[in-house]
Structure 1
Amino acid sequence: MSGFTSFTYQHGQLYAEAASLVDIAKEFGTPCYVYSRAALIAAYQEFDRAFADHDHLICYAVKANSNLAILNMLARLGSGFDIVSGGELLRVLKAGGDPRKIVFSGVGKNQDEMRAALAAGILCFNVESEMELLSLNQLAKEMNKVAPVSLRVNPDVDAKTHPYISTGLKENKFGIPMTEAERIYAAAHEFTHVHITGLDCHIGSQLTAIDPFIEASNKMLNLLDHLEKQGLHIEHLDLGGGLGIRYSQESPPSIKDYVTALCNSVGQRKQRILIEPGRSLIGNTGLLLTRVEYLKHAPHRNFAIVDAAMNDLMRPALYDAYHEILPVVKKPGDVNTYQVVGPVCETGDFIGHDRKLNLTKEDLLAVMSAGAYGMSMSSNYNTRPRAAEVMVDGDTAHLIRARETIEQLIASEKILD
């Protein structure tokens, strides 16, 4: 348990800040996501302090966790937001986010989404193709508006992360090729309803070394210098997100070291720096609380069947991702090696492989580092209602999303006559 966690053992029981996870399970049931307010505030403030006097905007990547209570807390701290859909735009606005601090990323923005963002008056569209730029210019013209634009450039940098979350290589779907960027920037200045404000890149997620960030930054700065020599004014430099967290044995840079390295690469340039952290803000501030339903001791493997499943936490099945699994109540006795699995009818439905645990039926387990891409990627597969979400503040646990019901899941469906 590293990074910005507020999860500690007290007298053999795991607590979130000063709230007992045993009590939270009794009150709200399982599976249940539990977040620490103090840990989230600490993570945001470390990002903010690391920039010192450099003009900056931290744009939280909403896709990591889009709960309204989390977005509202970040908005009150002064955060901006990186969105990738019209739905996320509405969430941020409903949560009290400032539209002038919103950047809209994503390769496939549809026209309704772009209209809504133009109407809201967002800070910037991170445009990912020439065709998108043309479409945005036309929509802005129809609405008698000027769209603020940053081109997302693909710097062809290997982020050395899982291939599914690598976004900065030339074979990835994201961004405009570096070789095309100058031409498109020059062309964009001829559009009547587009205003170029920034330069943007993002190379991937869960990066655990600084070098790829700096390689990408240096390529973007070289492009920036070329653009300015042509008389093209760039107001901000968006260097994306992607800083990793520790799930197991990873050793990612600290937030301070990461931000300091970015600022040093930018040097004396006056452009405002934008970054888009998601996982590094929220990942270690949350856990998934689950209960053991059954133990099955087979000749070759032991299974702990829990009430959380791949629909609740998709990362292990999707990425073969590792999450530490801790007993909520420590107890003496022999441990066994368990496959911690869920009740969904898929062999890929697992939470963790080969975990050494001392378990009995009804025991509570905490799946750690689950604040990012846990609830936001959850589904209703097997007609399973999505989990409750709880925010802990000191010794008080607040329900910030009620558990879904089966009735809610089927309410919009209709049987034909």
Structure 2
Amino acid sequence: MHSEDAVAERPWGALFEGDRADGAIYRDPALFDAEMDRIFKQTWVWVAHESELPGPNTFKTGNVGTSPVLITRDKKGEVHVLLNRCRHRAASVCEKKKGKQSVFVCPYHGWSYDPDGSLRKVPHRWGYDENFDPADYPLFSLRVEQYAGMIFATFNADAPPLEEHLGAARKWMDLFMKQGGGFGVKVLGQHSFRFPGNWKIQLENTTDAYHFPIVHKTFLDSLDEETENVFDVLGQGGWVEDLGNGHSVMVMIPSLIDLEADLEAPIPDRFADLAAELAAEGHDDMTVRRLVRAVGGTGFNLNLFPNVACSMAFFRVLRPIDVETTEITHVAIGMNGGESVGPANRARIRLHEHFQGPMGFGTPDDAEGWERVQRGVRAGEGMPILVNRGVPAPEGTAEPGHDAGDVSSEVGMRAAYRMWKRMMEE
């Protein structure tokens, strides 16, 4: 039997049942290969924010699962996601992270492509017969759709429309984008790192409040009393909610779900100097209040299956490398308002550095936990991984009919694994 056929017949879905998973879910290389085919090549995968392609002929490079891609905006303003692979001998056509250019030239034999993927020129074309037509050899193009400024791509021509896939998560995406403070959201920068662990370990983390006061004690100890009270996430009536299709939301600070609500409330003392600086830039009182509120981020984390989180005040993107290696990219976001919102964006970056930055208080501690899960799961063959925590959500919080639990519950993990199971059994 062909090895690929053997992999296809493995009962992968049985590795997750109800509220527990087999440890092989993090360890099996054949399972990882199957996930790349059945999940990352079948569903919508986040690739960029619209602000990363600010004008015609701009681009960034990225990945859909383990496939390198080129995300472009052509001269007409249309967005494309193209395999970063020359149609001739498979060399990558771009190695830059981002930029602006009107043509991509393969460095091996000089085949050149327009930003929409069409083959522009083949050097020494006389070496091909008269039936050779460049129109037959564009860069491979994935389906592309957008919602709330987020750009997604899929290999699957039969995948449901993006908005259908996002479903109930769209409400939360709209709320998250209010961090633009009325000016729209803009990517300010990003940094990436790898950890020696399976991609699903990080997927679980985004809607896991249970670990927060334990893993992030050093972060909490670094805060002033006012801010520490805000981050008492287990004591503010929050919840975790299954939004369908593997997506989930964890509400940690219910008062900050809608950043445009209750703008008349007093500005926190820690933002008083920022408010004065923004007023000096000429912003009126209500704009100042919107910007100050946006600086602190939302009160929730939104997990979009399978690879991106809208996490309080940044995007967290996971990239599976192999069964025991995952790359994480933290994307800092701010307000797209030019110099007049500069003070607010500087404050956002300082907050990002404090927790998410490479030398911050949060990211190194999270990464240590993820690595130790991967190391520990090698012991105790047959012992299940438990995702069974959860008492009912506070009354009047989650949407009726949605599976939900209190903020420390593992509803989000169960939501992701139910979708994982469904896709691995299809």
TM-score (norm 1): 0.29
- Normalised by the length of structure 2, the TM-score is 0.29
